[in-house]
Amino acid sequence: SAVISQKPSRDICQRGTSLTIQCQVDSQVTMMFWYRQQPGQSLTLIATANQGSEATYESGFVIDKFPISRPNLTFSTLTVSNMSPEDSSIYLCSVGQTGVYQETQYFGPGTRLLVL
Amino acid sequence: GNSVTQMEGPVTLSEEAFLTINCTYTATGYPSLFWYVQYPGEGLQLLLKATKADDKGSNKGFEATYRKETTSFHLEKGSVQVSDSAVYFCALEDDKIIFGKGTRLHILP
């Protein structure tokens, strides 16, 4: 099994600032994913982060707003840039494989972000 | 596009009650279907899954059957416990995973 930790667990930020969320996995994984859960909404995939290549963003998400780093096989960061209140969400890191069914998709505990 | 719709919560039941959480989906292909659970303060965990029509996924007393004719994957448990209190997410996987909004379940002792 994979154990995932995220930092910070929660934060309150001012409009116009940026926040970097860290995701650490206790084992080497090929693919890491970043999701967002806005209040009352379902989880939405932001991007897929593969080590050694550019992240792949889903429709509606762009690199300038959500830059992602993946420096090695156990770590990734997601930055929420130039924040606005609409960015208030829970951000989740996940590891696993999409497109190929498997039983072991793991999720971190999430980072709860409030933008004032 | 693909989507998942699940019943809104919160759902409040007494211990040992029968649980049903409805989930229906829209998909162009033949996706795999999942139920995930998020206990307080923890990350999402896979609860059960089904990969094709008429498959029944089961785990920890929970069951769900992949019904292609009704495009449904309802979650059921015959006798819930206080420890089942959590948020339950229905999801489908085609080329990516799409989640429902989640249903918060409260079990009263």
pLDDT of residue A105: 65
Chain-centroid distance, C-alpha B8: 12
Q: Find the CB nearest B43 among A40, A101, A108.
A: A108
How far is residue A32's CA from residue A73's CA, in Å, rounded to a whole number? Answer: 9
Mean pLDDT of B49-76: 95
pLDDT at B9 over 80: yes
pLDDT of residue A98: 43
pLDDT at B58 over 80: yes
Mean pLDDT of B18-41: 89
Q: Which residue bears the tokens 């997410």?
A: B89
Inter-chain touch A45–B96, beta carbons under 8 Å: yes
Q: Which residues contact B49 (CB under 8 A, 6 or more apart)?
A: A101, A103, B32, B33, B34, B35, B57
Pairing type for strands B103-108 and B11-14 reads parallel
Across chain A, mean pLDDT equals: 87
- Residue B8's pLDDT band, with cuts at 50, 70 and 90, is confident
Range with the poorest average pLDDT among A107-111, B21-25, B46-50, B87-91: A107-111
pLDDT at B21 over 70: yes
B97: chain A residues, CB-CB within 8 Å: 45, 98, 105
pLDDT of residue B43: 66
Range with the poorest average pLDDT among A72-81, B62-71, B73-82, B94-103: B94-103
Strand, helix or coil for residue B60:
coil
Q: Any chain B CB within 8 A of the CB of A109?
A: yes
Higher confidence at residue B8 or residue B85?
B85
pLDDT tens digits, A57-92: 988 999 999 999 999 999 999 999 999 999 999 899
pLDDT of residue A103: 46
Q: Find the CB nearest A98 among B42, B44, B93.
A: B93
How far is residue A90's CA from residue A83's CA, in Å, rounded to a whole number? Answer: 14
Q: Any chain B CB within 8 A of the CB of A45?
A: yes
pLDDT of residue B99: 86
- DSSP secondary structure string for all residues of A11-50: EEE-TT--EEEEEEESS--SEEEEEEE-TTS-EEEEEEEE
Inter-chain touch A40–B98, beta carbons under 8 Å: no
